[in-house]
């Protein structure tokens, strides 16, 4: 894990569902903090296009969680973070140079 923290950029990460351990894997070229905010608001606003929210909704609709009506990013465990050494844009640069 090394020096990676919430201000690191070009990292891959996974949000593991607190309820069922399913993982949502993504990567970001911006800092983790900014990316996390990008996930947090759609979940709290129950945005249908947020895959993190629609996943939580499955649990909300489950009768085993009758009082579940406040989805939040805290329902996921952030894990498996690693630095991405060659981003897509780096590869594009290299390909362009080869032409």
Residue with Cβ nearer Zn ion (10 or 76) = 76
Part in contact with Zn ion (CB under 5 A); list of ranges 9-17, 28-36, 62-70, 89-97 = 9-17
Backbone phi, psi, residue 23, to 5°: -110, 140
17 binds Zn ion (CB under 5 A): yes
From residue 31, how far is each of 53, 82, 99 by CA, in Å? 21, 13, 32
Residue 70 · residue 85 · CB < 8 Å: no
- Which residue in 16, 19, 27, 68 binds Zn ion (CB under 5 A)? 19
Residue with Cβ nearer Zn ion (47 or 94) = 47
Residue of 68, 14, 77 whose CA lies nearest to 46: 68
- Kindly list the residues in this chain that would bind Zn ion in the complex (CB under 5 A): 17, 19-20, 22
């Amino acid at each position: 894990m090394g020096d990676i923290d919430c201000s690191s950029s070009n990292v891959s990460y996974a949000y593991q569902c607190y309820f069922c351990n399913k993982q949502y894997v993504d990567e970001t070229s911006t800092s983790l903090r900014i990316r996390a905010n990008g996930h947090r608001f759609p979940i709290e606003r129950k945005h249908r296009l947020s895959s993190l929210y629609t996943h939580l909704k499955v649990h909300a609709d489950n009768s085993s969680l009758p009082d579940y009506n406040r989805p939040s990013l805290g329902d996921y465990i952030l894990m498996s973070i690693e630095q991405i050494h060659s981003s897509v844009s780096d590869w594009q640069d290299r390909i362009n140079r080869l032409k």
